[in-house]
Structure 1
Amino acid sequence: MLYYIVIALQAFCIYHVIKNNTSYYWIFLILFVPAVGSIVYLITQVYNKRDADKITNEITNIINPTKKVKDLEKQLAFSDSYQNRVNLADAYLEIGDYQNAIQQYKEALDGNPQNDFYVIKNMVEAFYHVEDYKSILHYTEGISSHKEFPKSRTQFIYGLALEKEGKLDEAEENLKCIDVRFSFYNERLIYAKFLLSRNKTDEAKEILESISSEAQHMTKPNKRLYRSTIAEVEKVLQTI
């Protein structure tokens, strides 16, 4: 049990380093001196009394992800509010229970007359994982004019759904918006493969070469995070 607690502490601390752009030397301390490094990081970089409960909860959720769901289910049963239902849906989405996430998001929207961009974008993510492309198109229409829609992952998923429905020109129009340097590496790889499927080899090659070049300037944590994507990029480049 102690081993899993230390692993959870490491995971949380590394996540906190990346999320908050803390100096990356902390990652080496956390990895190579696991228990002591994690504790020192928590005390010096994270911990204060106000955050204590939040940290405890996040570590608990890493060890036992279903606990968060059960707690939120109880909270919703006690108070059936819009926010409680959305929180439960988010928790389902986090653990990959996409059908339950979709159900809760839909019920939340039914009780809310306004289109909630946050809720719909998360529901679109869940629809993507269950390959319900028609629902993606249906719900995305209501948020396509939102200021946060352009160049978002939601627009990218919308493009993929258009491709599945045979609307290739519209799909390309939306997918290309994700081609932003030093970001969206996985999505840009998928977009490049889409272009290859349409015999647009030069455009695809340009994207892949850009990702390959950007990979040379990645931080070590990002190189580990996108290792399989970079490897796939190099593999596809060799076939062009």
Structure 2
Amino acid sequence: MMLGYYTPVLILQALCLYHAYKNNNQQKWYWLILFFPVFGCLIYLYENFYSKRLISNLSEGVKALGNSNHRVEQLERQVKFNDSYTNKVNLADAYMRVQRYEDAVNLYEKCLEGFMAEDPVLLMKLLSAYYQNGNYKKVIFIGEKLSSNKTFKNAEERIALAWSYFFDNQQSVAIDIFKDLDKSYTNFRHRIEYSKLLIKLDQHESAETILQVLMEEFDHMKPLERKVNKPLVSETKKLLRELDKVKS
């Protein structure tokens, strides 16, 4: 019975200590959590996760991490048993989700064979993997291959292409791509990224104009649509606040 009691307490302690370490919290929390396991953890959770929603998100995040690793291991076994195109792509997608970008690149490249060598969906996956792995020249190479593809024209992968041109010291090309993606009542993520690029180039007024237009469009959305786009709304507001600070 005692073991059954202490196991969840130890898990709770470990989670709280890990969170305190990751967030550089004060040393007092370490002593409180270690010497008063139950009450210390409860006080820590109350202070750092004052809403039930945030506590739930922490729990779900831990479960998701465990499930992701388990899923990757399952897919790795499937590829060893049968290295079919589908199995390799599924595993590469899983590697992307757990930020194993180099492994994802290697698998996507192996899938570019035969009739799949020019498949636009696979090329876009590979482009994203190259970008996350910091290989901007390869992103540009794939982007040129996809230049005539209609799906790619407004895909989020084209954001990675624009940033890759920027990091490759081809700023004018990056701006041209973002200008082409700057379309009213759509491409919200693309336009937020465009504003970030303009901020990097110290073109604050142009960036603010884009963000203000976005806010107007968000304000005209129906409640459900606005709820779906809530993270983008929050990010837009944050960028506007940061620009206000720069102006003041």
TM range (shorter): 0.5 to 0.7
Aligned to 1:231: 238
Take 1:197 and 1:224, find their aligned partners in 2: how far apart are those partners? 22
1:193 matched residue in structure 2: 196
Query: 1:150-191 CA distances to partner (integer Å, 9 max, x unpaired)?
Result: 122122211111111122221111122332344544442331
Paired residues of 2:188 and 2:232 also in contact (CA < 8 A):
no
Deviations 1:13-60 (A, max 9, x none): xxxxxxxxxxxxxxxxxx7xx9xxxxxxxxxxxxxxxxxxxxxxxxx8
TM-score, L = length of structure 1 = 0.66
For the residue of structure 2 that corresponds to 1:180, the secondary structure is coil
Deviation at 1:238, TM superposition (A): 4.9
The question of 1:94 aligning with 2:97 is answered yes
- Against the structure 1 CA distance between its residues 224 and 105, is the aligned structure 2 distance closer, same or farther, given a 3 Å change threshold? closer
1:197 CA drift (Å): 4.6
What is the alpha-carbon distance in structure 2 between the residues aligned to residue 206 and residue 166 of structure 1? 25
User: Kindly tell me: are residues 208 and 237 of structure 1, through their superposed partners in 2, closer, same or farther at Cα, counting changes over 3 Å?
Assistant: farther
Q: Which blocks of at least 5 consecutive residues in structure 2 are unaligned?
A: 1-7, 9-52, 57-62
Distance (Å, rounded) in 1 between the aligned partners of 2:238 and 2:245: 11
Give the number of the structure whose alpha-carbon radius of gyration is greater: 2
Q: Please say if residues 211 and 233 of structure 1, whose CA atoms lie closer than 8 Å, have aligned partners that are also in contact.
A: no
Helix, strand or coil for the counterpart of 1:149?
Answer: helix
Q: For 2:231 and 2:162, locate their aligned partners in 1 and report how far apart those are by CA, in whole Å.
A: 28
The alignment status of 1:151 with 2:154, answered yes or no, reads yes
Q: Would the alpha carbon gap of residues 234 and 210 (structure 1) be closer, same or farther in structure 2, given more than 3 Å must change?
A: farther
Question: For residue 233 of structure 1, what is the amino acid of its counterpart?
Answer: L
Q: Which one is further off, 94-103 or 199-208?
A: 199-208
**Residues in 2 aligned to 1:205 and 1:97: alpha-carbon distance in whole angstroms:** 35
Is 1:114–2:121 an aligned residue pair?
Answer: no
Match in the other structure for 1:14: none
Q: Is the 8 A contact 1:99 1:126 kept in 2?
A: yes
The match for 2:165 among 162, 174, 177 is: 162
| Cα distance in 2 between the residues matched to 1:235 and 1:94 | 30
1:67 counterpart residue number: 70
Cα 1:234–1:184 change in 2 (3 A) is farther
Higher relative contact order (CA 8 A, sep 6+): 1
TM-score (norm 2): 0.64
Alignment RMSD, CA only?
Answer: 3.3
CA distance in 1, matches of 2:231, 2:171: 33
Partner of 1:52: none
Q: Hey, what's the Cα distance between the residues in 2 that align with 1:225 and 1:67?
A: 31
Unmatched segments (≥5 aa) in structure 1: 2-30, 35-59
User: For the residues of structure 2 that align with 1:153 and 1:183, how far apart are their CA atoms?
Assistant: 12
The answer to whether the Cα contact below 8 Å between 2:215 and 2:233 also exists between their aligned partners in 1 is no
SS in 2 for 1:131: coil
Identity of aligned residues (%): 26
SS of equivalent to 2:230: helix
Alpha carbons 2:159, 2:193 under 8 Å: kept: no
Superposition deviation, residue 62 in structure 1? 6.6
What is the SS of the residue equivalent to 1:121?
A: helix
Q: Residues 138 and 221 (structure 1 numbering): CA distance in 2 closer, same or farther, change over 3 Å?
A: closer
The one of 140, 157, 160 equivalent to 2:143 is 140
Shift of 1:134: 0.9
Q: Distance in 2 between matches of 1:137 and 1:221?
A: 31
Shift of 1:131: 1.7
CA distance in 1, matches of 2:112, 2:141: 14
SS of match in other structure, 1:141:
helix
